[in-house]
Amino acid sequence: MRNRIILHLFWIAFAISPTTVAQQVKVRIDAGTTIARVNPWLYGINTARWDESLFPGPPGDALLTADRDAISKIRASGITLLKYPGGNDADQYVWNAPSNRSTEMDTDEYIALCRAVGAEPFITVNFNEPPELAAAWVRDCNITKSYNVKLWEVGDEQWGTWARGHVPPEEYAKKYIRFVSAMRSVDPTIKVATNVPLGSHPENWAPRVLKAAPDYIDMLTFTYFPQQWGKENDDTLFATVGEYRRLFSKLRSDVEEALGPARASSVMYVNVGYNSVNHSPGPQTIQMVNALWTADMLGAMGELGTDIACFWALHNFYPPRGGDFGYLSSEGSNTPRYSYYTFPLLRAHLRDDVCSVTGGSEALSAYASRSGKRLSLVLINKSKRTSTSAVVTIDQFVPQRRAKVWVLDEKRSYRQIEDRNDVSPSFPVSLPPYSILALEMIDADSVIPPGNLARFAGATASSYSTIGPHFKPASAIDGIPDTRWNSAAWTKSNGLEAQWFGLSWKKTNRINRVKISWGETHAVQYVLKASTDGKKWKTLLVISDGTGGLEEHVIEPTLIRFLRIEGKKGSKGISAYSIREIEVFGE
């Protein structure tokens, strides 16, 4: 028996990685020790006024010309904050200049984008223009138009000798104070940031500015682009995450020394721009390695208490080297890069309380977070050719045996895979090369509400209405109550027609309950049938007096792969049958 188990485990490992398997790594989670609280704004990104793909027409035509595909994908990625108007360009941009091109994204379009994707706005004002211009921008946003933009930054990387308008730290601080005073006079509730270098600086910039303007700094912004362009190296890239930890800790220590612990505790730390290379991105930025590095950075920033982070960027392709800073491609298709998928993954599985994690290895990073009775674990295998096995041990949390699992690698774009049913306070896990694995575990004493199996089904029907865009069968299982499946329109209008709606799964499920939320019309007479092969059907129930609205049917537990509602008679209307949402639950 023991030999059979060993052989079984060997084949599991071989199936995951047919090349080679590395030594086992130990990971220990202390679920009772919180080391940081994840700020939702950790999952931000930079967008630029010069990105002409988002709103390519004049402002008045925004609804007609907006790139809805890009907007939809930004929203789906879970981005929580949008930084504007775009890096060093902020110190050249005059927000209300008549000469600004109509194809560029102006303030109103930017705010519309933020609202469409559910992101917090964050604006950098031009340090080279008078403070009164910045104050006018605050007034336009927060007084005239009630946009309620709370996060502002004065200048971008003014500490750099290359920066337009660079002056010594104390001179910068005096001008910065004038900016903050002017902006706060319009709206005293805003938070204002100064940008400082992360690491050593020949002018000792950060401590000198902090001492010169201690009462005017709500946020410290900084950037992190660790690799010199043209010298990118996959093998050494991941070590830069550890360097970020060191530099961030040093910055926090410098702030406490300059301001004192009490004042320093109120300062927000903002990584206002980060990606793997400092300029002219090459192929590495569109490869899986960049996604792994981004995930590792997000995990490290979450553990360190970085309040806000802004990935660079939404769109920013660089043809000469074939690289792309953007997490969506720029040529019009908005193809997600690998780095795109790290954001929905980490936002879903690294939130609320960050737990203490020890162990791991140079090739394996581990991050854990807890939300009440839910414990999430994110594992990052940074080995390009070798799968990694680990033993995960959990203290102060006893998980249920069943855990949900997601994977991101070169072939699977943040995909939920089959649940694990063998989780315990100590359990093994194996990761393919260059991959991210996320596990969601629930406390053993929790009662888990049944999941809606219909969300994992395919939907078909005998017909659907073509007089609107959202009446196809999939609209009945999309989780959106305002969309719906409607049967073919204008067939009889009296309901005296037969139509069917069906669901199918890739594997069998044992179901015991079906909920149907009918639309404007409904089935008056219908039969609910089930099948395991799509050929032989079993009648689960017969309804002869359907009244519409919400109907919930409890049935005998039944093993199925196919479920069908066969309508015999519908109600009067343009379409005889309409389903807003169907939900299916099992044991």
For the chain, the helix, strand and coil percentages under 3-state DSSP, each to the nearest 5 = 30, 35, 40
Distance CA 355, CA 395 (A): 11
Q: Is 203 exposed, middle or buried (0-12, 13-18, 19+ CB in 10 A)?
A: middle
CB count within 10 Å of CB 320 equals: 8
Question: What pLDDT, on the 0 to 100 scale, is given for residue 493?
Answer: 81
Residues 435 and 471 in one domain: no
Residues 423 and 533 in one domain: no
Domain contains 7: no
Question: What pLDDT, on the 0 to 100 scale, is given for residue 86?
Answer: 95
Residues 436 and 527 in one domain: no
Domain contains 9: no
Question: What pLDDT, on the 0 to 100 scale, is given for residue 112?
Answer: 96
Amino acid at 544: S
Distance CA 477, CA 548 (A): 17
Question: What pLDDT, on the 0 to 100 scale, is given for residue 23?
Answer: 62
Domain contains 574: yes
Report how many domains make up the chain: 3
Distance CA 497, CA 463 (A): 12
Residues 389 and 309 in one domain: no
Task: Please tell me the pTM assigned to this model.
Answer: 0.85
Domain with 167 in it? 39-349
For tokens 């009244």, name the residue. Answer: 547
Distance CA 137, CA 214 (A): 24
Judge contact between 521 and 573, C-beta under 8 A: yes
Residues 82 and 174 in one domain: yes
Last residue of a domain, one of 299, 321, 349: 349
Question: What pLDDT, on the 0 to 100 scale, is given for residue 9?
Answer: 35
Domain contains 96: yes
Distance CA 316, CA 295 (A): 20
In this prediction, the residues of the chain whose per-residue pLDDT falls under 50 are: 1-19, 21
Last residue of a domain, one of 309, 327, 349: 349
CB count within 10 Å of CB 250 equals: 14
Question: What pLDDT, on the 0 to 100 scale, is given for residue 63?
Answer: 86
Domain contains 507: yes
Last residue of a domain, one of 298, 321, 349: 349
Domain contains 3: no
